[in-house]
Each structure stands twice: as structure tokens, then as C-alpha cells.
Amino acid sequence: MTPTINIQFNGISKRYRRRTILDGIDIALHEHQCTLLCGANGAGKTTLLKIMAGLEKPDHGSLSTGLGETKWRRCRRALQEKVMYLHQHPYMFDASVRRNIGYALPRTSSSENRDQRIIEALQWADLEDIASASATSLSGGEAQRVALARAWLRSPSILLLDEPTANMDQEARLRTHALLRQLKDDGMAIVITSHDALQFQQLADRQLLLNDGKITLVSKSEQPENVSAFPIGQARHDQTG
């Protein structure tokens, strides 16, 4: 059975000065699917994520959410409702881990319901032991788990992550991968950018390469042992739906 499309981006283009960063990109994001987006530094991976999150405006492009196609000037609200973007270094408020997780909940929630949901999120991300710690003192792996706990509470249709395991040790990476797999199993469409394709190959359902403003699908037989060994231009499958 073909997974349900959560959102379809059409003809996304972006130029900086005279350089084309994104050149008419079409990409569909499906529920229960993890997409690994690779490419060299400066290829435009972060720019594409920010556009998909509604944080940056493309020069051209439209969006389809199942209710017809929407021109970009009307897309921001739809994206804010459906998409959550996590930076490489998640922002932590100068407060406890518990309070940082609670910021993901709507202010209209009752105090009792908020407390229960925060407890559940702490348990889900295995953060109970540091619930009272200052979030600004956390390691990179712990901060990422706080960010993922907030995502779990908000439950967006689409989760975008920019280099989520950069500079983590192996244990922290494995914990992050496990949480991401749970979010995928819950139905989220996930997009991850990474310089290290190998570490996400067990999680990712497809691998895309962004090069010269275009996206190509990397077949299983073409996936490298590590992304730095991948000869640019090898991928020849223009299927991103």
C-alpha cells in the first residue's frame, strides 16, 4: 500500500544573488516515512528545510496538502500547523528540563493535564532523572532528546531535523535514533539532513541527494559506505514522490 502523502512541495526554487540554490524541486513527504537528505556543504539542504518549515520564502513554488494546490504566499499558516523544524543545536530556554518540555503544550491546557503530559514526555524520552536540571547545562544528546520530547507532545505531521546527531557520541546517537523511529512509527513524516549517510541507513526509507540545485533519489545499490565516498552525480533517479 502506498503511504498517504502528508504534503507535496512543487517547483521550489531559490537564488542567492546570482547563484541558484534550489532549482524547481518537487518533493512529496509521506506518513510513516523517513527521508535522508544528503549533499555537500553549501548545497542548500538547510535552505530547503527552512522553506519546507515556512521559515524562509522561496522565489517560486507551491504546496499541496490534499486540499488542492496553494500558492506560497498562503502557505505559511498551513506549514506552521503541520511542520516542526529542529535546528542542529536545539534552543533551550533558561529553565528546567521539565519547563522546557512544557513549552510545547498549548497555554489553554489545564494545569493537571499539563503536568501529566509533561511526565509522559519525560518518560518517553528517558529524561526523568534530569527533569529538574537546567536545560542550558545539557549535553548535545540530552538537549536533542528534550527537543524530540517537545516534538512528541506537539505531534506535527512533519518533522524536519538539521544534522540532529552532529558531535554526539555513539550512545547518544542510538538514543536519538530510537526516538526518531518511534516518531516515524507513530505516523510522522521525517526529513533528516546529514553528512553521514551511513548512520541513518537503518532508519531512512529513502535517501535523496541535493546537488546543483536538483534532488535525485539514491537507489539502494548506489548508497555508499559513507557519504564522503559518494561520487557526486552517480544518482540518476529523479523520483522524489
> Domain limits at 205?
5-91+159-229
Asked if residue 105 is part of any domain, the answer here is no
Distance CA 189, CA 138 (A): 27
Asked if residue 98 is part of any domain, the answer here is no
pLDDT of residue 140: 94
- Compare 236 and 176 and report the one with higher pLDDT: 176
Residue 4: band (very low, low, confident or very high) from pLDDT cuts 50, 70, 90: low
pLDDT of residue 41: 87
Asked if residue 121 is part of any domain, the answer here is no
- Compare 25 and 199 and report the one with higher pLDDT: 25
The residues, any chain, with a CB within 8 Å of residue 55's CB and separated by 6 or more, are: 85
> pLDDT tens for residues 46-96?
999 999 999 999 999 888 876 566 777 777 777 888 899 999 899 999 999
Distance CA 113, CA 87 (A): 28
Residue 58 has φ and ψ, to the nearest 5°, of: -80, 165
Q: Report the candidate in 2, 74, 57 with the shortest Cα–Cα distance to residue 33.
A: 2
Asked if residue 126 is part of any domain, the answer here is no
Residues 199-205 have a mean pLDDT of 92
Asked if residue 153 is part of any domain, the answer here is no
Whether 2 shows a pLDDT value over 80: the answer reads no
Instruction: Look at the chain and report how many structural domains it folds into.
Output: 1
Asked if residue 119 is part of any domain, the answer here is no
Asked if residue 217 is part of any domain, the answer here is yes
pLDDT of residue 239: 42
Asked if residue 115 is part of any domain, the answer here is no
For the record, the C-alpha cell of 107 comes out as 497555554
Distance CA 174, CA 129 (A): 19
Q: What CATH number is attached to the domain comprising 202?
A: 3.40.50.300
Residues 159-172 have a mean pLDDT of 93
DSSP 112: H
- Mean pLDDT score of the chain: 87
Q: How far is CA 120 from CA 103, 115, 117, 124, in A?
A: 14, 9, 5, 6
Q: What angle do CA 43, 146, 202 make, to 5 degrees?
A: 55
